[in-house]
Amino acid sequence: MRIFIDADACPVKDEVYKVAARYGLTTTVVSNSFIAIPPSKLIERMIVDAGPDVADDWIAERVAPSDIVITNDIPLADRVIKAGGAAIAPNGRPFTPDSIGSALASRAIGEHIRSMGEVTGGPRPFSPADRSKFLQALDEAVHRERRKAR
């Protein structure tokens, strides 16, 4: 079991490092630019080329059953689920086989509305409650994926 962070603009990297250290899990921080990481044998940095979906593709090609991916990217979450992994948004929302279809549909509708020139409000600001929900969701995912791997 490993954790991958889709790290560009991820607000919960420090929380992932703490949870991963508690469970002894390797964490790979994937981005298209340099991101500082704490010194740890369990944390590795992967800098990929710039471009649309390059980091997502790198993660999706390597994710395996029981791996956990932290991402806001819904298409990447779909690929992770199809590979047998778990995907969690930084606000603590778990992507599941039951929820990913509606998330993809909502994303497509939003893209269509924006392409027509509508100004949408965008995501709400990240809050301390989101951080707390994320920590709980990550801890639950680690336990769930460990049970599945047995």
What's the CA gap between 6 and 113, in Å, rounded?
26
For residue 120, give the DSSP letter.
P
> What mean pLDDT comes out for the span 49-54?
90
Burial class (CB in 10 A: 0-12, 13-18, 19+), 14: exposed
Q: pLDDT grade, residue 22 (50/70/90)?
A: very high
Check whether 78 has a pLDDT greater than 70: yes
Check whether 71 has a pLDDT greater than 90: yes
Q: Are 49 and 56 in contact (CB under 8 A)?
A: no
Pick the CATH number of 2-149 from 2.30.30, 3.40.50, 2.20.25, 3.10.50: 3.40.50
> What is the reported pTM?
0.86
What's the CA gap between 138 and 80, in Å, rounded?
15
Residues above pLDDT 70, as percent of the chain: 91
- Distances 139 to 21, 31, 98, 145 between C-alpha atoms, Å: 12, 23, 20, 10
Longest dimension (CA), the chain: 50
- Position 139 scores a pLDDT of 96
- Position 121 scores a pLDDT of 67
Q: Are 28 and 2 in contact (CB under 8 A)?
A: yes
The string of pLDDT tens digits covering residues 91-143 is 999 998 888 767 767 766 666 676 777 776 666 788 999 999 999 999 999 99
Helices (H), 63-150: 74-82, 100-115, 128-149
Residues above pLDDT 90, as percent of the chain: 72
- Position 59 scores a pLDDT of 97
